[in-house]
Structures are given as structure tokens and as C-alpha cells.
């Protein structure tokens, strides 16, 4: 006689795997933002750029794909902004908000 399947434990294992994959995806997206230097952008600017990218045509997306592939192959330039530039930009935004 065949052993019955424990469906509850299988479902739990699948749910755990899905949770791990989602956490991994979020972590990788964060790493991508940091690697490309996009973490220096204001969250509203970054969201606007991503929304624009999501609605773009296929030809434009293909150009971005090629540029991204070149970046990850090490042939592209590194992000122009460094940590110090980011700190200077944050200080400028803070002082601008205080004076407004």
C-alpha cells in the first residue's frame, strides 16, 4: 500500500519557498538600485522614472536592455555619483526644504 501524501506539509513548504523567492527578489532589486547609483535619486524621482520605463515602447526598452547588459559586463561606466556626492545632494535638498 502506498503512503498517503501530507498535503499540508507540502503546501507549507511551497509557501515557505515562495516567501524566500519574494525576499530574494526584493533584496536583488535593492542591490540593483544601489549598484546603478539610483539610490541617490529622491524616491519620487525614482518612482516616476520606473513608471515611465514601464509604459515605454519596445524599441526604447531594447535600448535600455542593451545599455544594462553592457553595464553588467563591466564595459559600461560606473555610476557618476559617489557616496560623498549623495551626501552633498541630500544636504542641498534638506537646506532647500528648510528655506522654502
* Mean pLDDT, the chain cut into blocks of 10 residues (100 residues total): 88 97 97 93 93 92 93 68 49 46
Q: Residue 35 has what pLDDT? A: 92
Q: What pLDDT sits at residue 83? A: 46
Cβ atoms < 10 Å from Cβ of 85: 13
Q: How confident is the model at residue 2, as a pLDDT?
A: 84
**d(Cα 32, Cα 86) in Å, to the nearest integer?**
17
- What is the predicted pLDDT for the residue at 68? 92
d(CA 64, CA 87): 28
CA distance 30 to 42: 15
Cell match 536592455: residue?
Answer: 65
Is the distance from CB of 53 to CB of 38 less than 8 angstroms? no
Nearest-angstrom CA–CA distance, 90 and 100: 15
Amino acid at each position: 500500500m502506498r503512503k498517503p501524501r501530507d498535503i499540508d506539509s507540502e503546501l507549507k513548504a511551497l509557501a515557505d519557498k515562495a516567501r524566500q523567492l519574494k525576499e530574494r527578489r526584493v533584496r536583488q532589486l535593492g542591490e540593483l538600485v544601489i549598484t546603478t547609483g539610483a539610490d541617490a535619486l529622491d524616491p519620487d524621482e525614482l518612482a516616476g522614472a520606473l513608471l515611465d520605463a514601464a509604459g515605454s515602447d519596445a524599441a526604447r526598452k531594447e535600448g535600455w536592455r542593451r545599455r544594462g547588459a553592457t553595464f553588467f559586463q563591466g564595459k559600461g561606466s560606473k555610476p557618476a555619483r559617489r557616496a560623498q556626492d549623495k551626501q552633498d545632494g541630500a544636504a542641498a535638498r534638506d537646506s532647500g526644504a528648510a528655506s522654502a
